[in-house]
Amino acid sequence: MKIIKILGIAAMALGLTSCVSKKQYDALSSNYKQCIENIGERQREIQDLKSQNSALSGENNLLKSQHDALKSSLDACLANTGKSSANIDKLVGEINASNSYIKQLISSNAKNDSLNLALSNKLKRSLDNVADDDVQVKVLKGVVMISLSDKMLYKTGDYNILPAAQEVLGKVAKVINDYDKYSVLIEGNTDNAPLSSPNLPRDNWDLSALRGTAIAKVLQTQFGVDPARITAGGRSEYNPKATNMSVSGRAENRRTEIIIMPKLDEFMKLMDITPKK
């Protein structure tokens, strides 16, 4: 507005040149030129300010876009953090439950190992007057295993129990009866010498199974072992302890094993222990 007024005054001054002195005219002319120059400078300043405003507007739009993107990322992170926290809590719970389960297993296994060791020691004391070649007692994989040689129990190729074996079987039966919560597995084993006969036993399968059941019947009928606790069978020549290439190896393979272990339902209870959800 000031510029317009100045221009108007300048124009009036020019129109009145005839009414003013030369000195006044020169002054007005100089002022007019100065006003023109000032107008040009102001216009350039206005143009520069417009350019700066446009650049700032672009930067502002870019910053706003970046802000929106960062806010979206932050919201997503916060949501994922909540989910991760829940997953971590669940994982910690599962780890604690697993640790509790492991402690239960260790406790149960330690208890079983102690019982089996006591049972094994009692059997060894009962059979301390029997030759080691004829009877071996050991704890293996959580069960007590009694290995009886065939020469003490049977005649060659036969499954009928020899009278001399009654004393040993009686001692074994007494310990079995003392541990009435345990199951008894009886396995007959042979070497790989072929056995062929039209009558029983026809082969090594028959011989091993009949020897196993013969021991079971003696334990039941003569020493009062509950037959519901007994499982009897044979493994023929297919579970050797030693090589069948030597006489001593074949003798070691011809054996009957009595395996005393926690009852199957006790094992199943142990296996049913699972981590709490």
Tens of pLDDT, residues 150-208: 999 999 899 999 998 998 999 899 888 988 888 999 999 999 999 878 888 999 999 99
Sequence-distant (≥ 6) Cβ neighbours of residue 200 within 8 angstroms: 206, 210
* CA-derived radius of gyration, the chain: 53
Q: How far apart are CA 58 and CA 77, in angstroms?
A: 29
Give the model's confidence band at 274: pLDDT under 50 very low, under 70 low, under 90 confident, else very high.
very low
Q: How far apart are CA 14 and CA 25, in angstroms?
A: 8
Sequence-distant (≥ 6) Cβ neighbours of residue 255 within 8 angstroms: 147, 148, 149, 150, 189, 241
How far is the first Cα of the chain from the last one, in angstroms, to the nearest whole number? 84
Dihedral through CA 60, CA 65, CA 71, CA 72, nearest 10?
170
Q: Which residues pair with residue 145 across a beta bridge?
A: 138, 259
Q: Which of 142, 124, 251, 245 shows the shortest CA–CA distance to 189?
A: 251
Tens of pLDDT, residues 73-109: 777 776 766 666 666 666 666 666 656 655 555 555 6
Sequence-distant (≥ 6) Cβ neighbours of residue 167 within 8 angstroms: none
Instruction: Report the sign of the C-alpha dihedral through residues 237, 238, 240, 246, in that order.
Output: positive
Q: Which of 187, 185, 186, 209 shows the shortest CA–CA distance to 263?
A: 185
- Per-residue model confidence (pLDDT) at position 253: 95
Q: Report the predicted TM-score, pTM, of the whole model to 2 decimal places.
A: 0.57
* Contact in structure between 195 and 250 (CB atoms under 8 Å): no
Q: How far apart are CA 4 and CA 118, in angstroms?
A: 120
Q: How far apart are CA 71 and CA 225, in angstroms?
A: 79
Cis peptide preceding 194, ω within 30 of 0: no
Q: Which residues pair with residue 186 across a beta bridge?
A: 232, 258
SS3 125: helix
**pLDDT, mean of residues 101-122:** 63
Tokens of 128: 């301390």
H-run or E-run covering 259? strand 255-262
**pLDDT, mean of residues 37-51:** 73
In the sheet with 182-189, reading across from the earlier edge strand, the strands are 135-140, 143-149, 255-262, 182-189, 230-234
The CATH number of the domain covering residues in 112-271: 3.30.1330.60
